Each structure stands twice: as structure tokens, then as C-alpha cells.
Amino acid sequence: MKLTKVFALTALAALVSTNALAEKIKVGVMAGPEHEVAEVAAKVAKEKYGLDVEYVLFNDYALPNSAVSSKDLDANAMQHKPYLDKDSQEKGLNNLVIVGNTFVYPLAGYSKKIKNVSELKEGDVVAVPNDPSNLARALILLEKQGLIKLKDNTNLFSTSLDIVENPKKLKIQEVDTSVAARALDDVALAVVNNTYAGQVGLNASEHGVFVEDKDSPYVNIIVARDDNKDSKAIQDFVKAYQTEEVEAEAKKHFKDGVVKGW
């Protein structure tokens, strides 16, 4: 009886010790298809590294960086470097660092009214995301279609004021990034972030009138802080994300509209 009790206590102590040592990480991601992709990374992290990943879901890009900076989150996986740079500058977030790449999610132009940009009429309304980095990205994409000309198409923070030629006198309407896809009933064309396109059942390869080049500089990234970037938990999460399993899940959701960034 005593040996049984000793064994039971020893087993319980081992279990408590193991649970105490189990690594946990809290990561911010966008709700929708990107979250479903990230869940595969969590599964890999648990199986390969014993890392528990808890996701906090967001519906817009305004809060995740501040949450990492203030230690409410350990990391996030929802943006590209131009957005991080602009958001950090505007909010004074000087402790955020890039710890790994995920995917390029190309922007695309969608429409319920046209099949080709040549069908756009003079004065048609074109919706573009209004956050600084995606606005410039959308304008650069419109220039590549020959619809407008920018003062400097290498400026990743161009605005509508930088349009120097607009032959069709298109009305460039800046809308909240999260509702661009839902504006399709009201505009001739909308340039939409892949996250929000996926939330309304659209993907670039099947539904896009035009799609951003796959060599886009806008590769998405995993962001942590300078005080935890080298931790085992963060590094294991990056390794778990950068796997064939996660790439396969991304392609399932986004088809040809996603490119591995590592």
C-alpha cells in the first residue's frame, strides 16, 4: 500500500512538473483563412516542440502590434514589413522585431461588373484600402495595370495625392481595409487584401481581375519583441510555421494566391 502511494505521488509530481515546464505562447492572427492556416502551425508546434499556442483573433490591423509591444501577446503573424514600419512609427512601438517570414498573400483587383480592366469606363469608382501601406501597395498595383501613373512607384507609402496621371479619370475611393471586399456591390473595382477576400469567399487565382506579382516585397512576417525574440518558444513557433504542413494548408485556402516566403 505504501509503495503504491509513493508511486502515485511520484507520478503526480512528475505530471505537475511536466505541466509547469510546458511552454505556452499567445499569438495574434487575423480571423478567417489565415487563422485556419495558423492552426496547423499550432498543431506542428505541439507535436514537434511541446509548445502550446493560443491564438487571439483580430478583425482589423489596428491593435495586434500594440498588444505585442505591451506584452499582452507574445507575437503576431498578420502583416508585412511596410505595415509594421508605419504602424510602429505612428504609435512609437520601438520594441518590435521581425523573427521570421510566412507567406506572400498577393493583393488582387476584384469586380462584379467587369472581367478585364479595359472594360473600366471613364469616372468609374475604384475602391482601395485606406491603411497607409496597403494603400500604396494598391496604387502601385493599379499603375502596373496601366490605369494610373504615380510620382514614384517605388515609394511604399504613396497616397492618392501622388497620382500624376489618371487617363480614365477613375475615382479612387479609400475605404477601410476590412470592408473593401464588401464594397464590390457599389464600385466598379475593388483592390482587396487576401485576408478579407477570403472572408467573403474570394481568392485571387479564381476571382481576381488582376493579381499582384508573386515577387512582391510584401511578404508577411512573424513579429515579437526584442526581449523575447530569442526565446525557445518564439523560435519553435517560427520553425513550426515554416513547414510543409502549413504551406499545404495555405494553398488549400488560397490556391495560387499564396507564395511561401521562407
- On the 0-12 / 13-18 / 19+ scale of CB atoms within 10 A, 123 is exposed
Intra-chain end-to-end CA distance of the chain, in Å: 57
- pLDDT digit string (tens) for 131-147? 887 899 999 999 999 99
Q: Is 169 left (phi over 0), alpha (psi -120 to 50) or beta?
A: left
Would the pTM count as exceeding 0.75? no
Mean pLDDT over each residue of the chain, to the nearest integer: 89
Is residue 163 within 8 Å of 150, Cβ to Cβ?
yes
Per CATH, 24-106+217-260 and 108-211 having the same topology is answered: yes
Q: Which tens digits make up the pLDDT trace of 151-197?
A: 999 898 899 999 999 999 999 999 998 888 888 999 999 999 877 88
pLDDT attached to residue 181: 86
CATH top-level class of 108-211: alpha beta
> What CATH superfamily classification does 24-106+217-260 receive?
Periplasmic binding protein-like II (3.40.190.10)
Average pLDDT score over residue span 114-124: 96
Lowest mean pLDDT among 61-65, 108-112, 174-178: 174-178
Domain ranges of the chain: 24-106+217-260, 108-211
- Using alpha carbons, select from 208, 10, 7 the residue that is nearest to residue 109: 208
Q: Please give the average per-residue pLDDT across 27-51, as a whole number.
A: 97
Residue 55: burial class (beta carbons within 10 Å; 0-12, 13-18, 19+):
buried
pLDDT for residue 87 is more than 70:
yes
Which residue type sits at 124?
D
pLDDT of residue 214: 63
